[in-house]
Structure 1
Amino acid sequence: MKKSVFLGALTVAGLTAGAAAAATLDDVKARGTLNCGVTTGLVGFAAPDANGEWQGFDVSVCRAVAAAVLGDPTAVEFVPTTGKTRFTALASGEIDLLARNTTWTFSRDTDLKFDFVGVNYYDGQGFMVPKALGVTSAKELDGATVCIQTGTTTELNLADFFRTNNIEYTPVPIETNAEAQPLYLEGACDVYTTDASGLAATRAAFENPGDHVILPEIISKEPLGPLVRHGDNDWGDIASWTLMALIAAEEYGITSANIEEMSAGTNNPEINRILGTEGELGAMIGLDAEWAKRAIAAGGNYGEIFAKNIGEETPVGLARGLNAQWTDGGLLYAPPFR
């Protein structure tokens, strides 16, 4: 009898948790704002500008989702999170979506009960050192002190790399990228390690970026993307297909400049379905017909967002690389809109 009561309690608890999770879309609509978790500040990815407005590659995902759901890309409350606090903020419901250069891993997907809704940047962990150190390879870092953010995949990757190559290091744990910068520049650590995109963004903020070198080794796979809580498939679908709309828009040539013209109708049924002039895709996810049009118009397609925030013409200076469209030899590939 006790066992039956216990199982019954578990079932009720599970149903209650599921009902709470499933309320995300309703909560966002009722609140009138999307609570989006971002970094505490990383140039090009997520940082307040001179007017205090959040800008960046990850910020654009938040704004696209807000545009799709609420019709307003500015209806976002940005919640800065660290490597340690980000998952608690999402699990507790403090934020609706986490868009914070977060790596999709097995344990985060399963053990932490999150759903990654896609990859918006294919990355890998690298190393940055002062040029004056004269180091040209990460394998020359025996005995180095290394600044590393706690609560991240980089901790285990770093330990694995040094162990595999039979070299020693001393970790200097830090909480945020902002904390790492002065420590690294003051020489408190010889090396700073994080995702290569993060290193490029960090270096771009230095007074003398040319005095620092990102070493050639990439020691891990870091598929970065937005995530939501387990248990709310409807909300996950909205976040996922919003990201896919940005990626597909670039593939099909839908831009912030021509989206109004294309919205009048084209000869391409896929474009028409994305922009809502054909089919009932919006209704399938509880939104109106122009949800994707608004998401794309908010900041442009994926390529426009990349170029504006982190591309080769910006201080961050990243090439598309793996993040090029599949038609250009990259890994970006949006499933069909049909």
Structure 2
Amino acid sequence: MRLLAAIGAALLVSGTAIAQTASPGPTLSAVRSRDALVCGSHPGAPGFSVLDSQGVTRGLDADTCRAVAAAVLGDASKTRWVVLSSQARLPALQSGQVDLLSRTTTWTQTRDTANGLNFTAVNFYDGQGFLVRKSTNVQRARDLEGATICVTSGTTNELNLSDWSRANNVRVQPLVFDQNEETRNAYASGRCDAFTTDASQLAGIRTALRNPDEHIILADIISKEPLAPAVRHGDDQWFDIVRWTIYALIEAEELGITQANVDEMLNSQNPSIRRLLGNAGDHGPLMGLDRRWAYNAIKAVGNYGEIFERNLGRGSPIGLPRGVNDLWTRGGLMYAMPIR
């Protein structure tokens, strides 16, 4: 028993030493060298990534990038944005133009395997819907027989519309545009009978229309759209950093840690809180980061629930319910892997 205890102690010491000296991989090195995180962003998706009146990028995806910047550099403001179209977003990540793609991108098998990408963790569970004018009296998606539907190219929405139309024997005429802004303008000007994209984006787009009350989002959801930040294949350390930063934000909500009380929580004796905030264990050093990596992220942007409510929730102009994006303890799908 003494021998086993001695071996265990030696392994523990060895593991700690390794964690403390974890060397930075290529992406972490590049981010630290330029002292900035470069994020691929959406040209304008209310609630996810959009410029406010002061020229600041706001939204759930934007706050995800800020959280990673805070975890890595200790400063959420050290974030640069590269605005990317639907067609350009994956090549920009593949080529190294951006360090992180956090841009309403659906995690699919083809994108994950054939494009040299790794999706980190889902930060929003969505589904594709339809926006229509109330004056059309369309109540269900099947009522769109013969309709012209605006959709953006290079998206899962374009493919899903084709699949749904074929599977349900509903003939529609897609009107396809290269840019999201073109698609929105075409719908707003009456060039199409409906607009299809992720339901959360439709909610944001609806609020920006001239007379939002004249438009409705149909109840029918025709696809699964798990949205997740993505990184390149080949840098496991960077993959771990982004994934575990997202989990840290979810874990913070589970544990009741907020942007306002995170400093007070540093005094907690709860083992889970101590590990998350860096008072116990080497969870930051295991990824080449400071022990306060999660503390820095939470201090910068708040927990996942705070991010959701600020950008998409009932207190925002979009007003979405948490739904499946609530914590697993309240019937949702948001579930952080254990930090231990």
TM bin (shorter chain): over 0.9
Report what 2:215 is aligned to: 212
Among 280, 283, 307, the residue aligned to 1:281:
283
**Could you tell which deviates more after superposition, 171-180 or 308-317?**
171-180
Separation (CA, whole Å) in 1 of partners of 2:109 and 2:69: 28
Question: 1:31-85 CA deviation, whole Å, 9 max, x = no partner?
Answer: 1110000100111110111111111111000000000101110101111111100
Separation (CA, whole Å) in 1 of partners of 2:109 and 2:241: 22
**Could you tell which deviates more after superposition, 308-317 or 135-144?**
308-317
- Letter of the structure 2 residue corresponding to residue 36 of structure 1: C
Q: Secondary structure at the match of 2:30?
A: helix
Report what 1:91 is aligned to: 94
Separation (CA, whole Å) in 2 of partners of 1:185 and 1:288: 48
Report what 2:125 is aligned to: 122
- Letter of the structure 1 residue corresponding to residue 329 of structure 2: T
- Letter of the structure 1 residue corresponding to residue 61 of structure 2: D
Separation (CA, whole Å) in 1 of partners of 2:143 and 2:59: 34
- Letter of the structure 2 residue corresponding to residue 295 of structure 1: A
- Letter of the structure 1 residue corresponding to residue 155 of structure 2: T
Q: Which runs of 5+ in 2 are unaligned?
A: 1-23
Separation (CA, whole Å) in 2 of partners of 1:295 and 1:315: 25
Question: 1:87-106 CA deviation, whole Å, 9 max, x = no partner?
Answer: 01000000000000110000
Report what 1:245 is aligned to: 248
Separation (CA, whole Å) in 2 of partners of 1:89 and 1:106: 19
RMSD over equivalenced CA pairs, Å: 1.0
Q: Secondary structure at the match of 1:42?
A: coil
Separation (CA, whole Å) in 2 of partners of 1:48 and 1:82: 15
Report what 1:6 is aligned to: none
Report what 2:314 is aligned to: 312
Separation (CA, whole Å) in 1 of partners of 2:179 and 2:122: 22
- Letter of the structure 2 residue corresponding to residue 248 of structure 1: E
Separation (CA, whole Å) in 1 of partners of 2:119 and 2:184: 29
Separation (CA, whole Å) in 2 of partners of 1:70 and 1:266: 25
> TM-score if structure 1 supplies the norm length?
0.92
2:71 equivalent to 1:30: no
Among 232, 235, 238, the residue aligned to 1:232:
235
Q: Is contact 1:109-1:116 (8 Å) kept?
A: yes
2:335 equivalent to 1:336: no
Following superposition, the deviation at residue 176 of structure 1 comes to: 2.6
Separation (CA, whole Å) in 1 of partners of 2:209 and 2:113: 38
Separation (CA, whole Å) in 1 of partners of 2:122 and 2:262: 24
Question: 1:175-234 CA deviation, whole Å, 9 max, x = no partner?
Answer: 232222221011111110001011011111112111101001101111001000001000
Report what 2:184 is aligned to: 181
Following superposition, the deviation at residue 22 of structure 1 comes to: 4.5
- Letter of the structure 1 residue corresponding to residue 54 of structure 2: N
Report what 1:290 is aligned to: 292
Among 147, 150, 161, the residue aligned to 1:147:
150
Report what 2:76 is aligned to: 73
Identity of aligned residues (%): 51
- Letter of the structure 2 residue corresponding to residue 195 of structure 1: D
Separation (CA, whole Å) in 1 of partners of 2:25 and 2:71: 18
Separation (CA, whole Å) in 2 of partners of 1:279 and 1:168: 58
Say how many residue pairs are matched. 317
Q: Secondary structure at the match of 1:281?
A: coil
Report what 2:7 is aligned to: none
Among 307, 321, 324, the residue aligned to 1:322:
324
**Could you tell which deviates more after superposition, 165-174 or 301-310?**
165-174
Question: 1:277-327 CA deviation, whole Å, 9 max, x = no partner?
Answer: 111111100001101000011111000000001101211111100000000
Q: Secondary structure at the match of 1:240?
A: helix
Separation (CA, whole Å) in 2 of partners of 1:219 and 1:334: 27
Question: 1:219-276 CA deviation, whole Å, 9 max, x = no partner?
Answer: 111100100000100000000000000000000000011000011x212101110000
Q: Is contact 1:22-1:231 (8 Å) kept?
A: no
**Could you tell which deviates more after superposition, 204-213 or 58-67?**
204-213
Separation (CA, whole Å) in 1 of partners of 2:302 and 2:178: 33
Pairwise mapping of residues 6-25 of structure 1 onto structure 2 (< 5 A)? 22-25=25-28
2:303 equivalent to 1:301: yes
- Letter of the structure 2 residue corresponding to residue 266 of structure 1: S
Report what 1:138 is aligned to: 141
Following superposition, the deviation at residue 23 of structure 1 comes to: 0.7
Question: 1:81-133 CA deviation, whole Å, 9 max, x = no partner?
Answer: 11100001000000000000110000000001100000000011000101111
Q: Secondary structure at the match of 2:82?
A: strand
Report what 1:11 is aligned to: none
